[in-house]
Amino acid sequence: MTTLEMTKTPATQTHQDWWRGGIVYQIYPRSFADSNGDGIGDLPGITGRLPYVASLGVDAIWISPFFKSPMKDFGYDVSDYRDIDPIFGSLADFDAMVSEAHRLGLKVMIDLVLSHSSDQHPWFKESRASHDNDKADWYVWADPQPDGTPPNNWLSIFGGSAWQWDSTRQQYYLHNFLASQPDFNFHNVAVQDALLDVARFWLDRGVDGFRLDTINFYFHDARLRSNPPVPKDQRNSSIAPSVNPYNHQDHVYSKSQPENIAFLKRLRALTDEYEARTCLGEVGDAQRGLEILGQYTAGDDLMHMCYAFEFLTGPRATAPFVVEVFEALAKAAPDGWPCWAFSNHDVERHQSRWNLTDDAARTYVMMMMALRGSACLYQGEELGLGEADVAFEDLQDPYGIEFWPKFKGRDGCRTPMVWETQSEFAGFGSAKPWLPVSPQHAQQAVDRQEADPNALLHFYRAAIACRQSTEALRSGEQSGLNAKGDVLTFTRQSPSETVFCAFNLGDQDARLEVPSGTWEPVKTAAGSVNGQDGLGPWQFAILRKAGG
């Protein structure tokens, strides 16, 4: 068990740059709280649970899409960017939620899906109607090759060709995801203007920022050149599962095009018209994720922050791997600002992916709170929820259905949030939910952990409070990152303080070499005193240098 000590240093963040070192709590609205008994979470449900989110000490919430949608990809296929889907509520419900969040001191970030729309969007319906209407080139259309096959070899992340034949236009259209999610043609400035108007609509309603879905997918190669192959021994499954042939290509032409930089500057300029707004981009690229992160966050006229997938997929984040990631980040993005996450709505929960004990989970969240960058937490992570086991007959995710059983899709991380252990549906709502509640999750519900002072939930609160009250951890510089065996060490420094951080990411006792000087504990593991006695398995020490 880890004991916690904390001293407080006033944070020096300005109101405008609250995002730098900020902590964002992701809400998947279908699965957070159901207020009306239809089995699907909604905006009033979120509003009712905001006091709990505020009690965690986070800065902001990020809400996955709630726009009007046929729900083929559960909201990531938008048919109306300026309205709420009735299953989630109304614009009035949205406004009430924003008002309550702001009253509680929470910023509100919404998930903007700009790379593609639903095929039910009026823009696409008009575009596919003919070759010469006003929106004919708002999407990516191309003639077939002479033999009738698609224009090139581009693949969809969800399986198969990225091109779908349309019998009305007698052309193919591009879809990087489902065939019902056609890609916009960002080479058309009118498309950019229309999507910037969407962003302005939500900024005017009071949102504090955007999480930008698949930010590097906006532009495609205008010449439609085929992607080159990736040698078999270099294939990377960080973006798509290993059973997906998407990993066989180096996607140099189907996404991450240089023209994107100019559009991102336009988007940043728009958000800068409003006070204290922020943009968080999702970079989906298996080969050049950190490089693109650096490109998109370099300078004050691009995105405020981005995240790649280094800690969201793959094996456990060992001490050497953390060093490797930050060394790569320093080379690729020396001026960039990262946002770190271990779990989200698209990946297996890290509690299961890394096979963590509670002590390991504590150490990892404290490490996240200590590393330079901003942080995203995913709903239920603070309860230690692992991946739920969803039977094939209960699957909703088309991605999992396509690649079952080798890849079970994303439903296991999207099952309902658990609020009350003894309630029939764990307090999620009064009716059978759209995905089954995990019986194991129900035993880890909020009410049970609130009553247990040693529960992981309370540790998350303490770890967040440590970061929020320690200037060096929130926004200071980072230096001396080093891995010695399982022990990761580094220093964070702000104008007013120096903090030394050490984490034993292993199951064995480890020696710890503390830099010279006098150090006092900010947050430390039991038995380590000032770290001079070493660290036990999954222990950590965070020490402040006496005198600043």
Range with the lowest mean pLDDT among 70-74, 190-194, 449-453, 510-514?
510-514
List, in sequence order, the alpha helices (H) in 135-257.
189-204
| HEC sequence for 245-310 | HHHHECCCCCCCCCCHHHHHHHHHHHHCCCCCCEEEEECCCCCCHHHHHHHHHCCCCCCCEEECCC
Q: What's the confidence (pLDDT) of residue 524? A: 64
Average pLDDT, the chain: 94
Whether residue 378 is predicted with pLDDT greater than 50 in this model: the reply is yes
CA distance 56 to 17: 20
Whether residue 152 is predicted with pLDDT greater than 70 in this model: the reply is yes
Q: What percent of the chain has pLDDT over 70?
A: 95
Tokens 């490797």, residue located: 324
Count, residues in the chain: 548
User: C-alpha angle with apex 540: 537 to 542, nearest 5 degrees?
Assistant: 170
3-state secondary structure of 456: helix
- Can you state the angle between helices 289-297 and 319-332, rounded to 10 degrees? 50
Region 478-495: mean pLDDT is 97
What are the pLDDT digits (tens) for 46-81?
999 999 999 999 999 999 999 999 999 999 999 999
Q: What's the confidence (pLDDT) of residue 148? A: 98
CA distance 432 to 410: 20
Tokens 């080093």, residue located: 482
Range with the lowest mean pLDDT among 12-16, 78-82, 147-151, 393-397?
12-16
* Active-site residue list: 213, 273
Query: Band of the pLDDT at 86, cuts 50, 70, 90?
Result: very high
Q: What's the confidence (pLDDT) of residue 541? A: 93
Residue 467, Cβ neighbours under 10 Å: how many? 26
Whether residue 375 is predicted with pLDDT greater than 90 in this model: the reply is yes
Tokens 């079970």, residue located: 408
Whether residue 12 is predicted with pLDDT greater than 80 in this model: the reply is no
Contact 414, 399 (CB under 8 A): no
What are the pLDDT digits (tens) for 169-191?
999 999 999 999 999 999 999 99
CA distance 331 to 18: 26
Whether residue 530 is predicted with pLDDT greater than 70 in this model: the reply is no
Q: What's the confidence (pLDDT) of residue 531? A: 55
What are the pLDDT digits (tens) for 229-276?
999 999 988 788 888 999 999 999 999 999 999 999 999 999 999 999
All structural domains of the chain, each given as residue ranges with its CATH number in brackets, are 23-118+188-465 (3.20.20.80), 476-545 (2.60.40.1180)
Whether residue 528 is predicted with pLDDT greater than 70 in this model: the reply is no
Locate 474 and state its tokens: 């929130």
CA distance 61 to 52: 12
Query: Band of the pLDDT at 346, cuts 50, 70, 90?
Result: very high
Whether residue 2 is predicted with pLDDT greater than 50 in this model: the reply is no
pTM over 0.85: yes
